[in-house]
């Protein structure tokens, strides 16, 4: 099944993500962007109480297409062009409400917006045929995370001109702007590989708050 519905600590991965977002008081609406043929969401996911949610089966062939379609849907739901929007990966299911609040605090007064990110501590290697051939300078290198926060119109315009971007910040950079990097911890990782599910479950089970 799609990985967002795999159970982690007794609930689908995406449920943990939505519960964290529901606890952020300043988010006025959470739009869940699904694939057009998604038949699992309503069967598997109970939306958290106390927050306005909207479901849109607007998923495209790429992340950029999906986000652009989601932004168009937000406009139809009453969002304004100058509203802030935050884009988050469902697979980053360990996100904490306080991290989202920190991003909002850091970016609300910024001219561009920004993203949660992790300064790189590991030594980086360039590879060829399964062998290390050089070491990459890790200074000033960051690992992008989500949420990523930008003005709706700015992000929509940037995505319309972008090609082959892997996150919203990439589109904003190609648009000629420099997003703010807001430090976050390694716990905000994207569940991707099989071993990540076990790690995410251990972390969720050992959380004290």
With bands split at pLDDT 50, 70 and 90, how would you rate the model's confidence at 208? low
List, in sequence order, the alpha helices (H) in 9-144: 13-22, 41-44, 63-76, 97-107
Q: What is the mean pLDDT of residues 185-190?
A: 95
Block residue for tokens 């599910």:
197
Q: Is the pTM of this model over 0.75?
A: yes
pLDDT digits (tens, 9 = 90+) for 142-163: 999 999 999 999 999 999 998 7
Residue 86 to residue 106: CA distance in whole angstroms = 13
Residue 5 to residue 8: CA distance in whole angstroms = 9
Residue 195 to residue 40: CA distance in whole angstroms = 24
With bands split at pLDDT 50, 70 and 90, how would you rate the model's confidence at 7? very high
Residue 177 to residue 112: CA distance in whole angstroms = 7
DSSP three-state, residue 161: helix
Residues 6+ away with beta carbon under 8 Å from 112:
150, 154, 172, 177, 178, 179, 180
What whole-number percentage of the chain has pLDDT above 70? 99
Tell me how far the alpha carbon of residue 164 is from its chain's centroid: 17
Domain count, the chain: 1
Return mean pLDDT, the chain. 95
Residue 160 to residue 64: CA distance in whole angstroms = 9
pLDDT digits (tens, 9 = 90+) for 10-51: 999 999 999 999 999 999 999 999 999 999 999 999 999 888
* Residues of the domain holding 9: 3-206
CATH (domain of 81)? 3.90.550.10
Q: Degrees (nearest 5) of the Cα angle 118, 169, 79?
A: 120
CB of 192 within 8 A of CB of 179? Answer: no
């Amino acid at each position: 099944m799609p990985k967002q519905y795999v159970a982690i600590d007794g609930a689908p991965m995406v449920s943990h993500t939505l519960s964290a977002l529901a606890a952020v008081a300043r988010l006025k609406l959470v739009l869940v962007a699904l694939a057009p043929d998604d038949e699992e969401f309503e069967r598997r996911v109970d939306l958290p109480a106390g927050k306005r949610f909207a479901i849109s089966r607007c998923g495209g062939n790429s992340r950029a297409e999906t986000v652009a379609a989601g932004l168009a849907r937000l406009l139809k739901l009453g969002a304004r062009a100058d509203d802030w929007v935050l884009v988050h990966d469902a697979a980053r299911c360990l996100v904490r409400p306080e991290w989202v609040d920190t991003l909002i605090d850091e970016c609300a007064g910024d001219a561009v917006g920004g993203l949660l990110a992790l300064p790189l501590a590991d030594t980086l290697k360039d590879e060829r045929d399964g062998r290390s051939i050089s070491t990459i300078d890790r200074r000033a290198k960051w690992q992008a995370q989500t949420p990523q926060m930008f003005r709706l119109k700015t992000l929509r315009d940037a995505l319309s001109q972008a090609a082959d971007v892997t996150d919203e910040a990439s589109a904003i950079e190609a648009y000629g702007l420099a997003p703010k990097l807001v430090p976050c911890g390694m716990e905000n990782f994207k569940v991707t590989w099989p071993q990540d599910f076990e790690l995410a479950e251990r972390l969720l089970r050992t959380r004290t708050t």
